[in-house]
């Protein structure tokens, strides 16, 4: 778990640094950074989606996942519940930042394969690399959204800790099937694209409502063996 602890610690450190820098950055520069993160999110989402589509053996699964996830999220009204809770605490923008940053932190080869290698081989290289990327990402996001971005560390700890526990119990590098990583990455890439559009003010796709879509590929791959 050392790699995961380092990763989460770096997110807390990055968020703290970014929030301190926020007080010294004027509004124009904050807006520029905000737009830059929107573009970066679009680029990373598109790359993640396209690069994994060619590897997918279930080309229709991501479509079904997004559709089902959106329906489930809308019925539960995930976005509405979170927005109302955020409004009561004056943290409406923070929710958008946390959603986007957590997708960046968790959906990707480093954050999925990393805990597996850590549990099976004691190799934390992937997680240390991921931590280096996350400290930069969290710092930049915190210049816009503030110290609340450190809550992303808790999400990362639960995500990577869960994967670590599964791999440790199974004691196998194939504890997380490659097909599952591929399909989750495609859906995650689409959700990042959705977040990027929201950040840039192009279209609010209610990304939070579509988060259940990430569960569909996991369930499908497990059922299909």
The pLDDT tens digits of the residues spanning 188-206 come to 889 989 888 888 888 888 8
Strands, DSSP E only, in 129-188? none
Q: What is the CA radius of gyration of the chain?
A: 17
Q: What is the mean pLDDT of residues 158-179?
A: 83
Burial class of residue 196 in the structure, from the number of CB atoms within 10 Å of its CB (0-12 exposed, 13-18 middle, 19+ buried): buried
Q: Using the predicted structure, report yes or no on whether residue 225 has a pLDDT greater than 70.
A: no
Please, how many CA atoms are within 13 Å of residue 219, restricted to the half-sphere of its CB? 10
pLDDT greater at residue 209 or residue 108: 209
In the chain, pLDDT over 70 holds for what percent of residues?
95
Q: Which of the 8 DSSP states describes residue 57? A: S
In this prediction, residue 203 carries a pLDDT of: 86
Residue 97 has pLDDT above 90, yes or no: no
CB 153 within 8 A of CB 12: yes
Q: How wide is the angle at C-alpha 167 spanned by C-alphas 64 and 212, nearest 5°?
A: 25
- pLDDT score, position 91: 64
Nearest to 213, CA basis, from 189, 177, 196, 178: 189
In terms of C-beta density within 10 A (0-12 exposed, 13-18 middle, 19 or more buried), how is residue 54 classed? Answer: exposed
Report the pLDDT averaged over residues 166-185: 82
């Amino acid at each position: 778990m050392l790699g995961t602890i380092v990763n989460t610690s770096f997110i807390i450190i990055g968020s703290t640094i970014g929030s301190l820098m926020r007080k010294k950055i004027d509004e124009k520069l904050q807006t520029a950074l905000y737009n830059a993160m929107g573009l970066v999110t679009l680029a990373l989402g598109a790359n993640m989606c396209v690069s994994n589509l060619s590897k997918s053996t279930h080309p229709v699964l991501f479509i079904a996942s997004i559709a089902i996830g959106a329906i489930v999220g809308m019925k539960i009204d995930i976005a509405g519940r979170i927005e109302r809770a955020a409004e009561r605490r004056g943290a409406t923008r923070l929710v958008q930042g946390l959603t986007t940053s957590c997708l960046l932190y968790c959906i990707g080869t480093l954050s999925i394969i990393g805990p597996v290698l850590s549990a099976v081989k004691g190799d934390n290289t992937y997680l240390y690399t991921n931590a280096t990327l996350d400290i930069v990402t969290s710092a930049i996001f915190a210049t816009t959204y503030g110290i609340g971005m450190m809550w992303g560390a808790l999400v990362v700890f639960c995500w990577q800790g869960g994967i670590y526990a599964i791999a440790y119990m199974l004691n196998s590098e194939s504890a997380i099937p490659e097909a599952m990583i591929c399909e989750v990455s495609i859906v995650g890439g689409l959700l990042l694209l959705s977040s990027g559009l929201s950040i840039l003010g192009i279209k609010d796709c209610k990304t939070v409502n579509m988060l259940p879509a990430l569960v569909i590929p996991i369930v499908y791959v497990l059922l299909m063996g």
